[in-house]
């Protein structure tokens, strides 16, 4: 149980780290938003990460993501991997990235497994080796140890430790890890956004080295990248039979800021831009959306707004509602209830979406 310091409401669905219930977050003024900024600053300090994107008068501007950090000599960007050495930005390039990978047998626990060529009945024979789930094949799961957001509920927060960020690999090393039984590569994290030059180079090299067979390129992202980079990602996915999975965390700007520490405008703009390219290949769907149902904060009101936004672009875009379990700084919140998930499912369908499902059902209470 936690008490909202503004309205005094006591609830198990008020996060102690925020000390504000969802309704008070939505109505937050500049003073309250400043307090939320301090929450994120403290969460980042323990890992040696900048409280805010650096924007000093001197330095080199990084344009990979919406934060557009201006990084001084010897300093690092908000993500922690992009850095300025002697006036040159390094980190997240084809020569080095804080990244690791593993082989995940298909079908796998993927946000898009119910509609993608590797996990469903779509895409065969052009984009899939089998009619149905590709048993016997593997996904090369590529985890980038950095992020452009600061999600207080992050389930992969361990990547922030400096000891993990310091271990790097080249794009060539990653591409060489593709085996004959690898049918897809999925870039996730953290988030691939702040190291996209590395991911794009590895993707293109892997595709070149495997020209005569199926090798899908997929992404899981918060969508904060430079629009031109999104187009490169989308082109690779469209040409290979893969997809881009956007994590649409919240629609209300205050809720998004409270949970993630940054604005959501770029994410929404990029999602809309990606949707414009759906006519290039309708199946398997090249664009998929998901939302984590954080108890109280990401409720039917948020899902209605997100689903309506998606439906206006294309009602056939698949949308997955994911069950939440407490982690990182929001470990005091209960798991998503089955009732909340079902209500959100109904809400998303009522907003006009034709393909909606509840994922992570095993964590629902």
Task: Provide the pLDDT for residue 163.
Answer: 54
pLDDT tens by residue, 183-203: 999 999 999 999 999 999 999
154: pLDDT strictly greater than 60: yes
pLDDT at 314: 98
Range of the domain at 257: 97-288
Whole-number Å distance between alpha carbons of 83 and 209: 31
Residues 6+ apart with CB under 8 A from 117: 123, 124, 127, 128, 134, 184, 216, 241, 242, 284
Predicted pLDDT at 12? 86
| pLDDT at residue 156, rounded to an integer | 93
Nearest partner of 174 among 245, 64, 79, 94, judged by Cα: 94
Q: Is the model's pLDDT at 165 over the cut of 80?
A: no
Is 349 exposed, middle or buried, given 0-12, 13-18 or 19+ CB atoms closer than 10 A? middle
CATH value at residue 158: 3.20.20.70
The predicted pLDDT at position 307 comes to 98
Mean pLDDT for the chain? 95
What is the SS3 assignment for 60?
A: strand
pLDDT above 90 coverage of the chain, percent? 93
Which parts of the chain fold into alpha helices (H)?
22-26, 30-45, 162-165, 171-175, 196-209, 227-240, 253-260, 265-275, 300-313, 338-350
Tokens for 357, please give them: 């499902």
Q: Is residue 185 domain-resident?
A: yes
Flag whether pLDDT at 164 surpasses 80: no
pLDDT in tens, 27-80: 999 999 999 999 999 999 999 999 999 998 889 999 999 999 999 999 999 999
Does an H or E element contain 244, and which?
Answer: strand 244-247
Instruction: Give the residues across from 247 on adjacent strands.
Output: 290
What is the distance between the alpha carbons of residues 46 and 48, in angstroms, rounded to a whole number? 6
Which pLDDT belongs to residue 291? 98
Confirm whether 155 is domain-assigned: yes
In a domain, 170, yes or no: yes
Which pLDDT value is given to residue 248?
A: 98
> Which 8-state DSSP code applies to residue 363?
G
pLDDT in tens, 294-323: 999 999 999 999 999 999 999 999 999 999
Quick one: pLDDT band at residue 167, thresholds 50, 70, 90? confident
DSSP β-bridge partners for residue 168 = 98
Overall number of domains in the chain: 1
Mean local confidence (pLDDT), 131-139: 95
In a domain, 268, yes or no: yes
Residue 171 lies in a domain: yes
Q: Assign 333 to helix, strand or coil.
A: coil
Tally Cβ neighbours within 10 Å of residue 255. 23
Residue 358, φ and ψ in degrees, nearest 5:
-100, 125
**Position 224 in a domain:** yes
Percent of the chain with pLDDT over 70: 99
Q: What is the CA radius of gyration of the chain?
A: 20
Torsion angles phi and psi, residue 293, rounded to 5 = -85, 80
Residue 306, domain member (yes or no) = no
Inside any domain, residue 114: yes
What integer is the mean pLDDT of 327-338? 96
Per residue in 205-261, pLDDT (tens digit) is 999 999 999 999 999 999 999 999 999 999 999 999 999 999 999 999 999 999 999
Residue 166 is predicted with a pLDDT of 66
């Amino acid at each position: 149980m936690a008490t909202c310091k503004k309205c005094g409401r006591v609830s198990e669905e008020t996060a102690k780290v925020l000390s504000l219930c969802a309704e008070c977050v939505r109505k937050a003024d500049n003073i309250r938003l400043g307090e939320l900024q301090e929450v994120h600053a403290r969460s980042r300090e323990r890992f040696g990460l900048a409280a805010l994107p650096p924007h000093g008068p001197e330095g080199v501007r990084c344009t990979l993501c919406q934060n557009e950090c201006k990084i001084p000599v010897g300093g690092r960007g908000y993500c922690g991997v992009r850095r300025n050495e002697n006036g040159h930005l390094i980190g997240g390039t084809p020569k080095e990235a804080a990244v690791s990978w593993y082989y995940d047998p298909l079908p796998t626990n993927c946000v898009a497994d119910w509609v993608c060529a590797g996990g469903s009945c779509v895409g065969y024979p052009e984009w899939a080796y089998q009619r149905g789930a590709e048993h016997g094949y593997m996904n090369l799961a590529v985890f980038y140890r950095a992020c452009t957001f600061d999600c207080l509920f992050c389930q992969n927060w361990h990547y922030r430790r400096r000891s993990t960020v310091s271990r790097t690999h080249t794009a060539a090393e990653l591409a060489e890890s593709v085996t004959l039984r690898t049918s897809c590569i999925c870039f996730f994290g953290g988030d691939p956004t702040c190291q996209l030059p590395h991911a794009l180079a590895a993707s293109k090299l892997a595709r070149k080295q495997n020209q005569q067979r199926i090798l899908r390129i997929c992404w899981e992202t918060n969508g904060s990248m430079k629009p031109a980079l999104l187009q490169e990602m989308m082109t690779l996915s469209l040409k290979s039979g893969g997809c881009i999975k956007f994590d649409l965390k919240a629609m209300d700007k205050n809720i998004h800021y409270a949970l993630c520490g940054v604005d959501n405008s770029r994410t929404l703009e990029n999602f809309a831009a990606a949707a414009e390219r759906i006519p290039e290949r309708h199946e398997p769907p090249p664009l998929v959306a998901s939302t984590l149902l954080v108890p109280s904060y990401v409720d039917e009101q948020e899902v209605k707004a997100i689903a309506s936004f998606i439906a206006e672009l294309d009602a056939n875009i698949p949308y997955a509602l994911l069950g939440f379990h407490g982690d990182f700084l929001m470990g005091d919140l209960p798991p998503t209830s089955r009732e909340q998930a079902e209500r959100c499912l109904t809400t998303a369908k009522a907003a006009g979406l034709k393909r909606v499902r509840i994922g992570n059902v095993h964590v629902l209470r």
